Amino acid sequence: ATKPTRDLMTMLQIDYLDVAHKEGKTLPYEQKDIRESVLHTIVLNYGEVTDISPDIRLTFHNAGHIVGSTIPHLHIGEGIYNIAFAQDIKFARSNLLDPANCRFPRLETLFIESTYGKPQDILPPRAECEKMLRNIVNDTIKKNGKVLIPVLAVGRAQEILVVLENLMKTKEIPTIPIYTDGMIREASAITTAHPEFLSKNLRERIFHAGQNPFLSEQMKHVASNEERELIVQGDPAIIVATSGMLNGGPSVQYFK
């Protein structure tokens, strides 16, 4: 795994134990099993070749999906056969990540997922989506309301936070509090801890300009039900909360 994948894996496994325990479910593993899996994790960087058996070499390529995501490429024998597994991939450059890299030396077989794979699955351009978000935020704030954005804690949340921070910096939306709830703070911390896996623009902002968007003074983490009640009753704000499908977590509490 890459370093971000190892860290995100650990965070999600620990969170699942907490959720399962609260729901009274039988735990499929324990904390000691998570520690054991981390100890047995071999960390690789993009482009680094390693032997996983006497005649199979593995190379990770950037998948552009979430921080640290990979397209594993297997080189079998002396080039007899080459296989790549492309799960979630993104070829467009995002605010958070560089696009996927599929420049393989050789490839005979490609396994690929099919989300948004139909001919009619054409997504609107990023600039158009950001303009729509800007308009929704401005219209809602004018009505003295609050913007609730349900998100996945890993990947989608960080992308949205960067977009919102950029819109505030360019004064396209009002400078108001952005409340993050759920595992977003932990996932953002892991993302920031591995800037070498981020897009060139974001990396330069963090390294050279000292402008880490996740540490913006507008970003405020929510840690209790009491805080949530105060936010709901308070002034206009943007709430970025899990879960992304409104099927659990704090986003449902805000929605209700």
Residue 63's pLDDT is what?
A: 96
pLDDT at residue 208 is higher than 80: no
Task: Answer yes or no: do 237 and 160 share one domain.
Answer: yes
CB atoms within 10 A of CB 198: 24
Domain that includes residue 239, residue range: 126-255
Question: Residue 150, class by beta-carbon neighbours within 10 Å (0-12 exposed, 13-18 middle, 19+ buried)?
Answer: buried
Domain membership flag for residue 83: yes
C-alpha dist (Å) from residue 159 to 74, 172, 214: 30, 17, 10
Kindly state whether residues 104 and 19 are assigned to the same domain.
yes
Same domain, 91 and 182: no
Q: CA-to-CA distance for 229 and 249, rounded, in angstroms?
A: 15
Amino acid at 145: G
Confidence of residue 116 (pLDDT cuts 50, 70, 90): confident
Distances (CA, A) of 50 to 72, 75, 91, 110, 197: 11, 10, 25, 20, 19
pLDDT one-digit tens code per residue, 182-192: 999 999 999 99
Q: Is the pLDDT of residue 117 over 90?
A: no
Chain-centroid distance of CA 67 in Å reads: 6
- In order, the DSSP letters of 8-57 are HHHHHHHHHHHHHHHTTPPPSS-HHHHHHHHHTPPP--TT-EEEEETTEE
Q: What proportions of the chain, in percent to the nearest 5, are helix, strand and coil?
A: 40, 15, 45
Q: Region 3-19: what's the mean pLDDT?
A: 95
DSSP 8-state secondary structure symbol assigned to residue 215: G
Residue where a domain terminates, one of 84, 112, 140:
112
The order of strands in the sheet holding 238-241 is: 147-150, 238-241, 178-181, 219-221
Which of residues 90, 112, 134 is at a domain's end? 112
At 15, the pLDDT band (50, 70, 90 cuts) reads very high
| 145 and 65 together in one domain | no
Q: How confident is the model over 113-133, as a mean pLDDT?
A: 87
Our count of domains for the chain comes to 2
Average pLDDT of the residues in 59-64? 96
Give the CATH number for residue 165: 3.40.50.10890
Both 177 and 241 in one domain: the answer is: yes
pLDDT for residue 209: 67
Does the pLDDT at position 95 exceed 80? Answer: yes
